[in-house]
Chains A and B, each alone.
Chain A
Amino acid sequence: KQEVTQIPAALSVPEGENLVLNCSFTDSAIYNLQWFRQDPGKGLTSLLLIQSSQREQTSGRLNASLDKSSGRSTLYIAASQPGDSATYLCAVYNNAGNMLTFGGGTRLMVKP
């Protein structure tokens, strides 16, 4: 059974710092990996999708990498802002493409 772990569970940083969120998964037979953002009481907003054939994806200040062989993905946030405060979730698609398995999330607080 696929298990997805996110470390750290919570992170507090001052505004302007660059930071890295980690995601690891136990079964490397994944198809895609997706990073989401969730604000309190809200739904999930898609940030980046990395296909299994890719090693990284970039969107603005966000860069996500994927190393299937080691079962790891990282989300890099450059020049963090208070508006980045949220919970960040990673999820992996199984090979059939019909199921996402989620990590427990990293709760990020960026202090002004």
Chain B
Amino acid sequence: NAGVTQTPKFQVLKTGQSMTLQCAQDMNHEYMSWYRQDPGMGLRLIHYSVGAGITDQGEVPNGYNVSRSTTEDFPLRLLSAAPSQTSVYFCASSFRRGEAFFGQGTRLTVV
């Protein structure tokens, strides 16, 4: 049982580059979300989805795009990376109001 799988684990980008962080879950959860974790700021919600085709913004959505074409996958796209997006990114999934399960994280550095 893989749970929530994130790829890549580490990434270094140059300012202005774009990339996609991948997230997949095999628990048939309808809810999926992306968080970023920064020292002194804790974990903050970027975007979330309550089902295939439905997404919404969280607390810090600027500079990120998401889409959800299947129940299993919820990719996070950085359109034009900035140093302020250096962070650890976590994907999570759950049933509505249920126990949330997190991936192992993607550590992103933007230089």
A residues sitting closer than 8 Å to B (CB atoms) are 31-32, 34, 36, 42-46, 49, 51, 89, 91, 93, 97-105
> How far is it, in angstroms, between the C-alpha of A91 and the C-alpha of B90 when the chains are bound?
14
For the complex, give the distance between the alpha carbons of A45 and B102 in Å. Answer: 7
Interface of B (DSSP majority class) = strand
Give the tally of cross-chain contacts (CB within 8 A): 56
Chain A interface SS verdict (over half)? strand
Number of interface residues of B (CB under 8 A): 24
B101:A99 contact, CB within 8 angstroms: no
Whether B99 lies near A43 (C-beta < 8 A) is no
- If A99-B48, A104-B42 are given as contacts, then 6 extra A-B residue pairs at C-beta distance below 8 Å, sorted by A number, are A32-B98, A46-B102, A98-B33, A99-B45, A101-B45, A102-B35
Q: Taking each of B43, B56, B101, which has the highest tally of chain A beta carbons within 10 Å of its own beta carbon?
A: B43
Determine the distance from Cα of A99 to Cα of B56 in the docked complex, in whole angstroms: 11
Residues of A within 8 A of B102 (CB): 36, 43-46
B74 within 8 Å of A (CB atoms) = no
Give bound CA distance, A43 to B96, whole Å: 21
4 nearest CB pairs, A to B: A97-B97, A44-B102, A43-B104, A102-B43
How far is A104 from B39 in the complex, measured between Cα atoms in Å? Answer: 9
B99 touches A34 (CB 8 A): yes
The yes or no answer to B110 lying at the interface (CB within 8 A) is no
A99 touches B58 (CB 8 A): yes
Cα distance, A4 to B76, chains bound together (Å): 26
Give the contacting residue for B90; candidates A32, A43, A51, A99; CB below 8 A. Answer: A43
Q: How far is the CA of A48 from the CA of B101 in the complex (A)?
A: 11
Q: Nearest Cβ in chain B — how far from A6, in angstroms?
A: 9
